[in-house]
Structure 1
């Protein structure tokens, strides 16, 4: 089924973990109660765009191609809980300046293209579980993640949870890459 140009797509821009980081994140999920985020959906949202016309995806691909930020070393060393949404998450006690600069760069580029985004305060985190109860105090070795892959992702809600489709990805160390059609 092809998507017509009049259909909206639910989009976000995110840092996409490598397999080593994903494996470490899944280990943190083990003691948590709630609906655990599937391995392939683990990410750190940089900008949530919500429902957007297809043309916005093309503009976002251009934004990805022009990013100037370097890869970021993240030290995920804190498990937390958003009580209002019942979300267990992992993040950093202190956000590295490079992460904040990347978030700002994306925000400025989106504004330049006239693309609206969610305007909540940026609280960098990786969601581990939804409909979760408050995690017990967890002691764990910090996860050191060299975050270099920025993605444009389409989220499709299903009864079993959201399915994510990577529309474009950009290594902060390389040029823009498009996923293989297949």
Structure 2
């Protein structure tokens, strides 16, 4: 297994849940057996970049700001299991086109910038609930409504207790107004400002 040098960071882009959604997702973990994902680690990965040079951070943060305003409502209504990796997860029966489009836009931008990322597997949006898990029981639950409006560039730091995720940059996916002020024509001002 390759080691991470001090001048490289293990990175990914993700949809980052709000506190209420995280709390609702934690409720799904109770009947699961395995290493449960910590509250602060719950997310949907949009693109896994793996080890990247730390010098690339400004470009990666800029790519985050270029994502389209694509806030959406996700209905988390199922629990599933990846046999090969022994991962219990939460996800959607019907994945919104807006989520698929956001992920495609991100992948296209990464490709244009010639930034390596994991493109070997088909995008399967999910929230990892537990690793080294056994097949979860049938769980009946009220679907979780998540207003997904935060995207993040995240660093994965592996420690003795498993991965810990640190948000390096975050942006709102809500609609924005564009302003041509002293910061230039590409400066975004949040419409809530």
For the criterion TM > 0.5, the same-fold answer is yes
C-alpha displacement of 1:69: 3.4
Q: CA RMSD in A?
A: 1.7
Matched residue, 1:86:
86
Matched residue, 2:157:
156
Change beyond 3 A, Cα 1:116–1:76 = same
TM-superposition CA deviations, 1:97-151 (whole Å, max 9, x none): 0000000010011111111110110000000000100001111111110101000
**Is 2:142 aligned against 1:141?**
yes
C-alpha displacement of 1:55: 2.6
What is the alpha-carbon distance in structure 2 between the residues aligned to residue 109 and residue 122 of structure 1? 16
Map 1:1-182 onto structure 2 (within 5 A).
Answer: 7-119=7-119, 120-173=121-174
What is the alpha-carbon distance in structure 2 between the residues aligned to residue 101 and residue 61 of structure 1? 20
Using structure 1 for the length normalisation, give the TM-score.
Answer: 0.91
What is the alpha-carbon distance in structure 1 between the residues aligned to residue 189 and residue 145 of structure 2? 24
Instruction: Give the paired residue count.
Output: 173
Name the SS for the 1:141 alignment partner: coil
* Higher percent of residues as strand: 2
TM-superposition CA deviations, 1:17-52 (whole Å, max 9, x none): 000100000000011000100000000000000001
What is the alpha-carbon distance in structure 1 between the residues aligned to residue 115 and residue 149 of structure 2? 23
C-alpha displacement of 1:164: 1.0
What is the alpha-carbon distance in structure 1 between the residues aligned to residue 135 and residue 69 of structure 2? 35
C-alpha displacement of 1:78: 0.8
Gap runs ≥5 in structure 2: 177-187
Query: 4+ residue stretches of structure 1 with deviation over 3 A?
Result: 174-177
Gap runs ≥5 in structure 1: 178-182
Higher alpha-carbon Rg: 2
